[in-house]
């Protein structure tokens, strides 16, 4: 479990580098362990492993992962939300990403989810093509949904205002 968490941390940082947002990673391995393997898991993770003869030069046997959790749409019920999805660059184009997505969709259907949701940056053309080729639709373009966030400082202000 600890090895997996360490590897997950490595991947989260790799994904942040790919998305050019490295300085935004503030999570630690301790947080990941507590939040993923405590009484109420906040996330679930699937990993893609290769046999020893295909380990990377650095000795990695886990070459891809997907991190997901369950959310809720009051119109259609349970959803599977894909938070992160990453395959190491030297292992792309081999069908590993497709296999991970296939596994995830099977988890979604088994848990009676109507849909699998995720976000993609609009500049990320390879990912957009990857998902659209497999039947995904862009709800932001089609229906006008915009994602907003409120940071902790403003949450605190809202929570403590009289």
Partner 1 sequence: MECVVRPCRAEDCVEVMRMIRELAEFEKLPDQVQINDQVLREDGFANDPFYRCLVAEVPPEYRSRDGHTIVGYGLYFFTYSTWKGRNIYMEDLYIMPEFRGIDLEENRMNLGSPGICTPNYAGKGIGKKLMSKIAEIGVENRCIEMKFVVLDWNQAAIDFYQSQGAVDLTAAEGWHFFHFKGDALVRLAQGQTGL
* Residue 131 annotated as catalytic: yes
CB of 127 to partner 1, least distance (A): 9
Cβ nearer to partner 1, comparing 63 with 85 = 85
Q: Considering beta carbons, is residue 56 or 106 the nearer one to partner 1?
A: 106
What residues numbered 120-149 form the site for partner 1, per CB under 8 A? 120-123, 131, 133-141, 143-149
In the complex with partner 1, the residue whose CB is nearer, 1 or 159, is 159
Shortest distance, CB of residue 94 to partner 1, whole angstroms? 14
Considering only residues 56 to 95 of the shown chain, the ones binding partner 1 according to CB under 8 A are 67, 69-78, 81, 83-84
CA neighbor of 103 nearest in space, from 93, 92, 95 = 95
Quick note: the x/- pattern for partner 1 over 11-50, rule CB under 8 A, is -x--xx----x--xxxx---x---x----x-xx-------
Q: Please, which residues bridge with residue 72 across strands?
A: 78
Cα 5 from Cα 1, distance rounded (Å): 6
- For the chain, first and last CA: distance in Å? 45
Phi and psi angles of residue 27, each rounded to the nearest 5 degrees, phi first: -70, 145
Which of 18, 69, 81, 131 does the annotation list as catalytic?
A: 131
Among residues 53 and 153, whose Cβ is nearest to partner 1?
A: 153
- Reading the block at residue 98, the tokens are 């497709």
Q: Which residues pair with 50 in a beta bridge?
A: none
Residue 8: partners with Cβ closer than 8 Å, 6 or more residues away: 32, 45, 47, 65, 67
Q: Tell me the catalytic residues.
A: 131
């Amino acid at each position: 479990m600890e090895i997996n968490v360490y590897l997950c941390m490595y991947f989260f940082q790799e994904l942040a580098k790919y998305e050019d947002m490295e300085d935004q990673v503030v999570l630690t391995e301790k947080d990941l362990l507590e939040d993923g393997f405590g009484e109420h898991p906040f996330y679930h993770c699937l990993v893609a492993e290769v046999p020893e003869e295909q380990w990377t030069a650095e000795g990695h046997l886990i070459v891809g992962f997907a991190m997901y959790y369950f959310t809720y749409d009051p119109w259609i019920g349970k959803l599977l939300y894909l938070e992160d999805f990453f395959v190491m660059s030297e292992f792309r184009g081999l069908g590993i990403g497709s296999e991970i997505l296939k596994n995830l969709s099977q988890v979604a259907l088994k848990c009676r989810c109507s849909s699998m949701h995720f976000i993609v940056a609009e500049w990320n053309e390879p990912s957009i093509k990857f998902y659209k080729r497999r039947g995904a639709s862009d709800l932001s373009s089609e229906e006008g949904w915009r994602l907003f966030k409120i940071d902790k400082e403003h949450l605190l202000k809202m929570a403590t205002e009289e």
